[in-house]
Structure 1
């Protein structure tokens, strides 16, 4: 198959691209700075050319700006992408989303929920792959905070997964017929973010004072109750955070 990956240079997107190439698929990397297939989701520029002849599109795009900027990229941009897919007769749209995004009332998660709605109401047959937070993201956050020798960590129930395992699940979805539904991909075990921070300190040997941070209101209640986890995932990873972190630490 010829598969286009929007955001194919990002943390997840590049791993999905590598996985699909090893399976024999022709992969196109779409991004603002792609040398071969530059596109701009917010305007739709470049999409018609980039999607010509593609069977499937994997949207692994992201936005690190404000909620309003994220909405332009992920919601309005998704509508531009779906319209271009319809013109190119693309048969399957795979949207990468977040486990529990519709259960946590904060800006970025609201945007991801709206993005999912644009996909489910759009013209292209679809699959939504909801993934839990990546081990890589937690490692980056703890490392950044650890440089200050302080780890302010709230009580948040997580079920993080190695990005490589999530990428395999996304690649599986891209190879299959459209699900017209959601699939959830999580790590092997739920854990509180404070427990994961202690694991990070123990494995890396970094000295940082861990401070509890309260999360008040509905957001705090949802996160403590496990809104970002699921008891019945479609795919459950096998690599715990501690094992992944030990491998990353040993490789440095």
Structure 2
């Protein structure tokens, strides 16, 4: 099957590309800097040619700058191009709890989900919890200063490789016209994750409680980012993933 992956060079996207190729699919990597299939979601440039003959599109695009232009308006352009090309299944990668966290990026992701649900192409949205990789990347700089500010937050982080396998499974299946939630194998407080990171990496940083007031703090404490009953559960705990890194 020919599958296009937008954002196919990103943290998740490249794992999805590798996973799909390992299963025998023809995968097109779509990004602004792709040597074979360059596309620009903010203008629609390159989409028509890149999607020719594709049965499925996995949208793993991420954008911290101009997020609405890329993820919301870009999704509209992408879906229109998919409909013209006869794409049968659009897989939207999103975030668990994005509709309940009062941060601008999460609101954009929730809006993107709405665009997909109202769009012209049969779809499945895959909501994923935070990655182990993100937690480690967040803790590492603070660890160098021997001080780790840690908020109260219930999380259920997942390895990118585990998430990629779940996304590939969805891409191979029929559109669900609904969501699939993917999470890690264990629920842990952010302080527990930081303690595990210290133990395995050997850092001696002091954990400093960091209160988060208002709606954001309440949402994180209540665990809106941790899927209580995920449809797909990863197999790699944070500690095992951390210990196995090169």
TM-score > 0.5 by shorter chain = yes
- Return the alpha-carbon distance in structure 1 between the equivalents of residues 14 and 57 of structure 2: 14
The residue aligned with 1:39 is: 39
Q: 1:135 aligns with which of 124, 132, 135?
A: 132
- Return the alpha-carbon distance in structure 2 between the equivalents of residues 81 and 54 of structure 1: 13
The residue aligned with 1:211 is: 208
The residue aligned with 2:77 is: 80
Superposition map of 1:144-163 within 5 A: 144-163=141-160
SS in 2 for 1:4: strand
What is the TM-score with the length of structure 1 in the denominator?
A: 0.96
The residue aligned with 1:244 is: 241
Q: 1:89 aligns with which of 77, 86, 89?
A: 86
- Return the alpha-carbon distance in structure 1 between the equivalents of residues 141 and 15 of structure 2: 23
Alpha carbon RMSD of aligned pairs, Å?
0.7
- Return the alpha-carbon distance in structure 2 between the equivalents of residues 201 and 23 of structure 1: 37
Q: Is 2:148–2:206's contact at 8 Å kept on the other side of the alignment?
A: yes
**CA-CA distance at 1:148 after TM superposition:** 2.2
**CA-CA distance at 1:206 after TM superposition:** 1.1
Question: Could you give the per-residue CA deviations for residues 102-128 of structure 1, whole angstroms, max 9, x where no partner exists?
Answer: 111111110000000000000000000
- Return the alpha-carbon distance in structure 2 between the equivalents of residues 144 and 41 of structure 1: 32
Residue 166 of structure 1 pairs with residue 163 of structure 2? yes
- Return the alpha-carbon distance in structure 1 between the equivalents of residues 226 and 140 of structure 2: 23
SS in 1 for 2:64: coil
Residue 220 of structure 1 pairs with residue 207 of structure 2? no
- Return the alpha-carbon distance in structure 2 between the equivalents of residues 110 and 64 of structure 1: 13
Q: Which runs of 4+ in 1 moved over 2 A?
A: none
Question: Could you give the per-residue CA deviations for residues 145-197 of structure 1, whole angstroms, max 9, x where no partner exists?
Answer: 21222211111110000100000000000000101100000001111111101
**CA-CA distance at 1:130 after TM superposition:** 0.3
The residue aligned with 2:12 is: 12
Residue 234 of structure 1 pairs with residue 231 of structure 2? yes
The residue aligned with 1:189 is: 186
Note the residue ranges of structure 2 that are not aligned, 5 or more in a row: none
What is the TM-score with the length of structure 2 in the denominator?
A: 0.99
The residue aligned with 2:109 is: 112
Note the residue ranges of structure 1 that are not aligned, 5 or more in a row: none
- Return the alpha-carbon distance in structure 2 between the equivalents of residues 138 and 231 of structure 1: 19
- Return the alpha-carbon distance in structure 1 between the equivalents of residues 146 and 36 of structure 2: 43
The residue aligned with 1:64 is: 64
SS in 2 for 1:52: coil
